[in-house]
Amino acid sequence: MKNINIENSDLKVSEISLGCMRIHTLANKEISSLIHTALDEGINFFDHADIYGGGKSEEKFAEALDMNPSLREKMLIQTKCGIRKGSFDFSKEHILEAVDGSLKRLRTDYLDVLLLHRPDALVEPEEVAEAFTILEKNGKVKYFGVSNQNPMQIELLRKSVKQKIIFNQLQFSITNTSMVDAGINVNMEINRSVDRDGSILDYCRLNDITIQPWSPFQYGFFEGVFLDNDKFPELNQKINEIAAAKGVTNAAIAIAWILRHPAKMQPIIGTTNAGRVKDICKASGVTMTRHEWYEIYLAAGNKLP
């Protein structure tokens, strides 16, 4: 597994990370097998959120692994806070309370990374800044980031927050390509030329913010997996053709396609199958040409101007 250095930090992370949203549905033995398989394959970065399984995913992660200092040192743990039932909450009080809850469930004294989970329309950057400073000063959180935020939302935070924003989780996959579509179809009167996110891809690259693509195998908004899906015959034919030529699975190609982008993104895979983790991790060793990248992009139904 290749590693990437995260700008404005001392973090050296696996270029593929494991998302733990669904592990609360597994038995402890299955969770232990999943996480240890990921570690054996070179994944050192694990993504959580306080809402995953209502906190159960964090809790079962630590319980299944019998979390201890020796094991903790091998991992980089990220969690997210800010989503509440029926609302978003970036208040100082909630951020501090949420982190304490996550630390308790994860059986750890610190988080490597804390992300604000989706934008809060009522955000007060000064309160976020106070919370981040307290968490950093008390050694509870080392680094900070956001999810699903556009450039101006990040700039608003940066006006008050002193810590660097080092990550931004965004939806990106072969079938969810709006981040690159607008940049390819500049100044055209077609749907793909619409800038839906304030050029967040270029903004993150310019500001040394690492993008973490979520749901890299999903199409739409959790509408299903595009791999081996009859709705995408041309795409699957092309992916399978390239997968066969490179001796890997179609899932590995879907991740290799993301890794080929020079933004050095860190995709989050959410599989709960240990064998699938092994297959996907082979993406780290795949060399994808520029031509192959564009072939897959076009097979997904996109067009070049």
Radius of gyration over alpha carbons of the chain, in Å? Answer: 19
Burial of 293 (0-12, 13-18, 19+ CB in 10 A): middle
User: Phi then psi for 6, rounded to 5 degrees?
Assistant: -85, 120
State both tokens at 166: 């080092």
Does 110 qualify as catalytic in the annotation? no
CA distance 91 to 15: 32
CB 59 within 8 A of CB 28: no
CA distance 142 to 147: 17
Evaluated on CA atoms 246, 249, 253, 256, the torsion sign reads negative
- Choice among 52, 143, 219, 297 that is catalytic: 52
Q: Which residues are catalytic?
A: 52
